[in-house]
Amino acid sequence: MCCGLGPVCLGWSFWAFGGKVAFLAFGFWLLTLCYWLL
């Protein structure tokens, strides 16, 4: 599945994973904010 570029692929997969974590954290924060506002 990975290209033969090693470090580039590793960096991309790490960025993709970090992006998902950041998105989930932001969504959780938004949900908490909405909960406290209601």
Q: Mark the ranges of the chain whose per-residue pLDDT is less than 70.
A: 1-10
Give residue 28's identity as a one-letter amino acid code.
F
**pLDDT value at residue 28:** 92
**pLDDT value at residue 20:** 82
> Which DSSP state fits 4?
T
pTM of the model: 0.49
**Contact (Cβ atoms closer than 8 angstroms) between residue 31 and residue 25:** no
**pLDDT value at residue 3:** 56
